Amino acid sequence: MRRRATTAGAVLALAVTACSPEAAPPAPSAPAATTVAASTATAAPPPTSSTPTVAWQVGARPLPRRPDGFGRVEPTPPELVNRALPTKDLLPSPAGDAYAATVSAVPAEVLARSTWQPGCPVKAGDLRYLTMSFWGFDGRAHTGEMLVNASGAAGITKVFGQLFAARFPLEEMRVTGPAELTAPPTGDGNSTSAFVCRPARGQTNWSAHAYGLAVDVNPFCNPYTQGDLVLPELASAYVDRTRRRPGMVLAGDATVRAFAAIGWSWGGNWHSPTDRMHFTATGH
C-alpha cells in the first residue's frame, strides 16, 4: 500500500490482507501444476503443553470509522502484543519438513473467489496460482496459496522457499476475496498475500497488487504507518521495531534480502508512508 484512502471501498483492501473477517474461503481444488524443486529444512519445534492457546477470533469486532474512512486506531489488545495465533489450514499440510511449491494457471474456482474481474489491469491468463509451504507461529508446517503475476511466479516461490528454510513464521497465506474490500475494518488481519484488484491507496491509478506484482508479508507484524494512521489499526504494538518478535521484517534481514535478490524492493524503506509489510516489483 502506498497512499491513504478516503473512501470506504478502499479501506479494507489494506494492501491485500489486513482487516478482513476470518470466514474461511472454500478449500481450493488441486490444479495441474508445475512442482518447484524442494529444499530441506530442519523441523520446527512442535508446540509444548506449556504454550498457552490464545483466544482471539480475527475479524470479530468492527472498529468505529475515522473521518478518513479507516478504522479508529486503538491500542493493541494484550492477546496480540506478541502475536502467535495458530494457522487455520485451507490446504493439506506438506509431507515432512521439505519445502514444496507449485505454479499453475489459475483454476476457475480460485479466480471466481478472488478479486479479479474483466476490468482489472491484468488478464486472468497472466496470473499464476501458487501453493507454497510455510511455517506457522504454531511451529508447524502449512501449505498456503497466492495469486501473482506470471512474470514473478518463479521468483516468489524461490523467496518463500528461503523464508521456509530460515523458519520465518507466517500466520496465514490465502487468496483475497472481494468481500474483504468492503468489509468493516477490524484492524487485526495478518494474511500474507499478493494479487488484489484495487487502486493504489488514495489514488485513482492501479496498485501494484492489481497487477500481481506486490506481496504483503504478515501485515499485523509489519504495519503501514503515515502520520497518526496505523494499518492494521490494532497493530500499534509493532510500530516499535526495536522490540523484535517473530514474523517481523527488519532492514537487511533474510526476508528483505530474499526479495531484493529477485529485484523486488521493500516499502519499509519508505518514509511517508512507511509500508513495512509491502514488497514490490514496480517500486510502488
* Position 53 confidence tier, pLDDT thresholds 50, 70, 90: low
Q: What does the alpha-carbon distance between residue 148 and residue 192 come to, in Å, rounded to a whole number?
A: 12
CA–CA–CA angle 211, 208, 114 (5° rounding): 50
Amino acid 119: pLDDT: 92
Amino acid 71: pLDDT: 97
The cell numbers describing 142, all together, are 502449512
Specify the higher pLDDT residue, 76 or 34.
Answer: 76
- Tens digit of each residue's pLDDT (9 = 90 or more) over 220-257: 999 999 999 999 999 999 999 999 999 999 999 999 99
pLDDT at 103 over 50: yes
- Tens digit of each residue's pLDDT (9 = 90 or more) over 31-51: 445 544 443 333 344 544 444
pLDDT at 13 over 60: no
* Position 201 confidence tier, pLDDT thresholds 50, 70, 90: low
Q: What are phi and psi of 116, to 5 degrees?
A: -70, 140
Q: The whole model's pTM is what? A: 0.84
* Position 151 confidence tier, pLDDT thresholds 50, 70, 90: very high
Collect all residues with Cβ–Cβ distance below 8 Å to 118 and sequence separation of at least 6.
none
What pairing do the DSSP bridges indicate for beta strands 229-231 and 141-149? unpaired
Q: Is the Cα dihedral 13, 17, 22, 24 positive or negative?
A: positive
pLDDT at 67 over 60: yes
Residues listed for the chain: 284
Residue type at position 59: G
Average pLDDT value for residue range 155-165 = 98
Amino acid 167: pLDDT: 97
Q: What does the alpha-carbon distance between residue 154 and residue 97 come to, in Å, rounded to a whole number?
A: 21
For residue 116, what is the DSSP state?
Answer: -
Amino acid 4: pLDDT: 38
> In angstroms, what is the C-alpha Rg of the chain?
17
* Position 52 confidence tier, pLDDT thresholds 50, 70, 90: low
* Position 196 confidence tier, pLDDT thresholds 50, 70, 90: very high
Amino acid 200: pLDDT: 59
Lookup result for grid cell 478449500: 27
Where is average pLDDT lowest: 46-55, 92-101, 149-158, 239-248?
Answer: 46-55
Q: What does the alpha-carbon distance between residue 225 and residue 271 come to, in Å, rounded to a whole number?
A: 9
* Position 161 confidence tier, pLDDT thresholds 50, 70, 90: very high
